[in-house]
Amino acid sequence: MSNSNLTRPLPASCLPALITAAGEQASLRFLEFFAANIRNPHTRRAYSRAVTDFLTWCAAHGVPSITAVQPLHVATWIEMQTWVLISTET
């Protein structure tokens, strides 16, 4: 098996915009985190989906870069997820 697939950059459409905007090193670190730190493929997909949803929300709400993400953004997004779950249950 060749390692060329591991060193070839993924298309920008595969990563959240705030990650790709931060550059190639940030994109690589993002992918490495999920590949190296989360062994279970189901957990990896779920976490990746949640992080992508969060970063997409950040971009849509005017967060200009990954370095501008603040704890308040995280708290607001989590609170919104809670309200979405509550409203779909009733």
Report pLDDT digits (tens) over 65-75: 999 999 999 99
Share of the chain above pLDDT 90, in %: 58
Residues 17/59, Cβ–Cβ less than 8 Å: yes
More confident residue, 1 or 63: 63
Give this prediction's pTM: 0.76
Supply the pLDDT for residue 61. 95
Domain parsing of the chain, residue ranges? 4-89
Distance, in Å, from the CA atom of 35 to the CA atom of 32, rounded to the nearest integer, reads 5
Q: Is the pLDDT of residue 4 over 50?
A: no
Average pLDDT over residues 64-88: 89
Averaged over 20-44, what is the pLDDT?
91
How far is the CA of 14 from the CAs of 9, 70, 83, 88, in angstroms?
Answer: 10, 24, 28, 29
